[in-house]
Structures are given as C-alpha cells and as structure tokens.
C-alpha cells in the first residue's frame, strides 16, 4: 500500500497502513537474510592427489618443511625430529600415517621433482608433534554437522572401526569458497593415538 494514498484518510487508517508497511518491510528483510549456520574451520592439506582437513583449532603453525634427523628403529611414519619455532618436534608423515601409497617419493620421502612440502605444528602435544604434508592449500569453513562423525560414539575403541578419518567434506562445502575440492576430515586424537604408546 502506498503511504501517499493514505495521507487524506482517517488518521487511524493511516496509522494502520504505516504499521502494515513497516511490518512487511521487516518481514522481507528477514527473509532475505541467509540463515546463520554454525561452521568449523579446517586447514586443508594435500598429500599426493588426496586432500585432508586438520581441525584449525589444533594447529599451532605452518612452516616450510625443514630437514629432519632420522631416528634409528623409528616407525616408517616418523620422518624424524627437527627444530620448529625454537622447539624440538617429532615429525610424522601424514600420508604414511594414513597408509597412503608412497609411489612417486624418493628414499627420504620427498616428492620426486617437487620442492619440499610443509610442516604443520600441532597445539598442546607432549612431546611436540608436527605433521609433514606435500602442501597446505588453505583454510576451509564447513558446516559443523559435516564435522561430526556419523553414528560413531566418541568413546568407541579404535579396533571397532574408529580410524583416523572422521568424515568427508564434499566439493563445494567450504563456505568461504576458497577450497573447491572435497577433503577427508582427520581425527587427530585417533591418528596420534597410534604413536603415543
């Protein structure tokens, strides 16, 4: 209803028309707003052709991959130790931790024909731990519902199906639009539990 048409009308009718117009404008503005969705941030990394998301809250920093000093008798996933941000950290190869095929890697685990990768230092780990990845791609924000494991209690033992991957973010699920590919979500406590004993 146009307010000009109500100018000569009864003051009560004009007042009612103004209230109706204001209510309609407020309702339209609320309908145009995008529904607020709770999101969680992941640091998306490449390991070969695969993409993995590490919970951003668990990441302390990212640096270019330094040279590691190997340890005798260490498991294959442990690349060695190195200094990162002034601390000695154990460096685990994320691809090896996840059982990915090591084809295309040389004897020291570097991609043949490519520059060194990145090391993702984790928060609140004792002893300090970092994960070696081929490349850090960026930060993705996904719906928190995608980050929850489907039908899997948090206290389920690893031997009964609880593995280091907790879910999958399909292509296009990054709300920032920066990460277009899909990526698997890494459950860091489950991944690191294998190396804490």
pLDDT digits (tens, 9 = 90+) for 78-129: 999 998 878 899 999 999 999 887 554 444 444 433 457 999 999 977 889 9
Residue ranges with strand state E in the chain? 39-47, 50-55, 59-64, 78-84, 87-93, 118-122, 129-133, 135-143, 165-169, 183-186
Q: What is the pTM of this model?
A: 0.70
For residue 127, is the peptide bond before it cis, meaning its omega torsion is within 30 degrees of 0? Answer: yes
d(CA 67, CA 59): 20
d(CA 79, CA 64): 15
d(CA 132, CA 110): 10
d(CA 169, CA 185): 7
Instruction: Check pLDDT > 60 for residue 6.
Output: no
d(CA 51, CA 157): 25
Higher pLDDT, 23 or 188: 188
Structure tokens at 35: 């529904």
What distances in angstroms separate CA 113 from CA 106, 117, 192, one per listed residue? 10, 12, 30
DSSP secondary-structure letter at 97?
A: H
Question: pLDDT tens-digit profile of 26-41?
Answer: 777 655 555 677 899 9
Question: pLDDT tens-digit profile of 42-82?
Answer: 999 999 999 999 999 999 999 999 899 998 988 889 999 99
Q: What is the CATH T-level fold of the domain 39-193, as seen in this structure?
A: OB fold (Dihydrolipoamide Acetyltransferase, E2P) (2.40.50)
Task: Label residue 160 by pLDDT band (50, 70, 90).
Answer: very low
SS3 55: strand
């Amino acid at each position: 209803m146009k307010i000009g048409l109500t100018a000569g009308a009864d003051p009560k009718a004009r007042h009612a028309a103004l209230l109706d117009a204001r209510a309609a404008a407020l309702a339209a503005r609320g309908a145009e707003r995008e529904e607020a969705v709770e999101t969680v941030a992941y640091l998306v990394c490449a390991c070969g052709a695969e993409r993995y998301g590490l919970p951003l809250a668990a990441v302390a920093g990212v640096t270019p991959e330094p040279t590691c000093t190997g340890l005798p008798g260490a498991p294959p996933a442990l690349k060695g130790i190195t200094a990162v941000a002034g601390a000695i950290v154990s460096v685990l190869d994320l691809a090896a931790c996840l059982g990915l095929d090591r084809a295309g890697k040389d004897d020291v685990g570097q991609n043949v024909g490519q520059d060194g990768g990145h090391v993702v230092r984790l928060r609140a780990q004792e002893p300090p731990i970092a994960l070696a990845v081929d490349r850090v791609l960026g930060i993705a924000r996904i719906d928190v519902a995608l980050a929850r494991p489907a039908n899997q209690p948090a206290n389920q033992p690893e031997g009964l199906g609880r593995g280091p991957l907790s879910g999958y973010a399909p292509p296009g699920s990054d709300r920032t639009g920066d990460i277009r590919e899909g990526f698997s979500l890494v459950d860091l406590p489950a991944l690191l539990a294998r190396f804490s004993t």
